[in-house]
Amino acid sequence: MSVDELLIWNAQAMADHFPRARTVAIVGNGAVDAESTSHIEQADVVVRFNNWATRSFCVEHNLPHSTGRCDLLVTHCDLHSGNQGKGGIGRPSLVVIGIPAPFHIDVLPARIDKWYPDCRVAIVNPYWNRQLCQSLALKSEGWQHPLPTLGMTALYHLGRMELGYEYYVCGFDWHFDPERDTIQEHAVDAQKLPGHYNHWYVKEAVWIARSLWQRPKWSFSSRAARTLRRLAGKTFRWEQDHPLQTLDREPHSVGLEEEDRRYSELYRGGYGAGPVAPLLRWCREVGVELEEKRVIDCGCGRAVLLRQRIPFAEYLGIDIASSQIEELKQQSFAGQEVRFHHGSLDCLPCADGAFDVAWCCDVLEHLALDEVDLSMREMGRVAAQAVFSICTRPSKILDGQGRNLHQTVRPAEWWRERVSRHGRIEAQRASADHLWLVVRSRRR
């Protein structure tokens, strides 16, 4: 292979490679019990690390493997092959190079061709890896300096991607000994961090306890939870010199704040209607009725759909503009079961199958390309059916900084293919600048 063929491991790469994935098991090289084995076997994607088949706890203690599955391998650039492909040990379909710095990166093509000739290969985002080191307060300049483990690298990147998957984490305990109350043989409450030539597990475990442990859709094995429970809510003296940064302070939230300000300003100027009335008429023509249905209005804007006097069984409006949501909450919609929520579409605050219909009118084209699939997947998760109106031309309106509002401008054929990854198209109508779709979710 050529280095030019390397993908960046991001949300788009995950969505493209595992288009129907909903559940992910992230399996470290530590002990795995029967409960964790069940989670691994039922997961859509199983993530492993380095030459796990020869280094894992099971091998070292002569125990049987929990399962031989490995769908996504995160490894260093030395690309150990281990026993994969032999004796029931599966080979991954996607290999992610998790190098913290470009060590010997020139040898990657030959080693990939040798060990993984039939696999797609991606490399972690080097900027995110740099931010990971900053989040852990690591001054990583090479192999003889503290570095994030591959497990930490994968957990951090998946946490940043916000894919909407359900994650199960097992095979991790971060070298915690509950009887001695130590990590890496140092007391949990020690004033100073333990010295180690490579990794500081205590910092990683504390970061995970604060950023992922109680996060929606993330669950941990009893062994991993035991460690995180011990560390959660604690303030460590060593943090005065090594302050950790959790995910809620990462650049992604800054991007949401910018979009919030952008669309709040536009709504104040009267923006946010969309072709709601004609789309409703077309829906009725193709047999889609919203009366007495549970409807989630994705990118509700000024809640034009709600003002059509349709007797919904339930209505939830979601929008990125916080000021618009607050304004809607102050308005009266008599006789309706109405709720509004400020947030993005790639992480909907709803249970699976909570709604009958997801309504999304002239919204998807406003999203960045890597957010389109995430948002459609989330809508398919929470609703049995979706109604889309998608504008296929650039916006005629610019924001206050002169930027076009439509970030993903693609022809109707591209949108049909993209939408069909997430559901079955039941009805469609195309015009010169719009595509209307009714889509049945593939949710199991």
Which residues neighbour 192 within 8 Å (Cβ) at sequence distance 6 or greater? Answer: 238
Averaged pLDDT, 305-323: 92
Based on the fold, state whether residues 245 and 259 are members of the same structural domain. Answer: no
Residue 233 sits in the same domain as residue 269? no
Whole-number Cα distances in Å, 325 to 14, 260, 299, 305: 32, 11, 10, 14
How do residues 162-207 score in pLDDT, each as one tens digit? 788 999 999 999 988 888 888 888 888 888 887 665 678 889 999 9
Dist. CA 84–CA 197, nearest whole Å: 29
Digit-coded pLDDT (tens) for 211-270: 898 788 899 999 999 999 888 877 788 887 788 887 754 433 335 677 888 888 888 877
Does residue 236 share a domain with residue 282? no
> What pLDDT is stored for residue 63 in this prediction?
47
Note the pLDDT of residue 129. 84
- pTM: predicted TM-score of the whole model, two decimal places: 0.56
Provide the token pair at 218: 């993330």
Q: What is the mean pLDDT of residues 43-51?
A: 89
Range of the domain at 398: 254-441
- The verdict on 73 and 212 lying in the same domain is yes
Q: Do 435 and 374 have their domain in common?
A: yes
Q: Looking at the structure, do residues 134 and 270 belong to the same domain, yes or no?
A: no
Question: Which pLDDT belongs to residue 66?
Answer: 54
Using 50, 70 and 90 to split pLDDT, how confident is the model at 100? low
Q: Average pLDDT of the chain? A: 83
Q: Do 68 and 31 belong together in one domain?
A: yes
Of residues 99 and 88, more confidence is placed in 99
Domain end among 228, 249, 270: 249
The reported pLDDT for the residue numbered 112 is: 76
Domain of 270, CATH number, reads: 3.40.50.150
Could you tell me if 333 and 378 lie in one domain?
Answer: yes
Give the residue-averaged pLDDT of 271-294: 92
Domain termination residue (choose one: 219, 249, 279): 249
Claim to verify: residue 307 and residue 320 sit in the same structural domain:
yes
Question: Which of 15-24, 123-132, 214-223, 242-251 shows the lowest per-residue confidence on average (mean pLDDT)?
Answer: 242-251
Q: What is the DSSP string of 189-253?
A: T-SSPPP-SS--HHHHHHHHHHHTTTSTTEEE-HHHHHHHHHHTT---GGGGTS----GGGSHHH
Number of domains making up the chain: 2
- Give the whole-angstrom CA distance, residue 284 versus residue 358: 15
Contacts of 246 (CB under 8 A, 6+ apart): 135, 207, 210, 211
pLDDT digits (tens, 9 = 90+) for 74-93: 987 655 555 454 444 677 89
More confident residue, 369 or 288: 288
Q: Which two tokens stand for residue 151?
A: 């497990």
Q: What pLDDT band is residue 372 in, cutting at 50, 70 and 90?
A: confident
pLDDT score recorded for residue 253: 39
In the predicted structure, residue 273 carries a pLDDT above the cut 90: no
Cα–Cα distances in Å, from 293 out to 288, 305, 363, 384, 423? Answer: 10, 13, 21, 11, 20
107/24 same-domain check: yes
Give percent of the chain with pLDDT exceeding 70: 85
Higher pLDDT, 365 or 238: 365
- Which residue, of 249, 283, 306, is where some domain finishes? 249
Amino acid 407: pLDDT? 87
Q: Mean pLDDT check: name the lowest of 16-25, 253-262, 407-416.
A: 253-262
Query: Are residues 232 and 270 both part of a single domain?
Result: no
- In the chain, what percentage of residues exceed pLDDT 90? 37
Question: Identity (one letter) of the amino acid at 259?
Answer: E
Is 245 found in the same domain as 263?
no
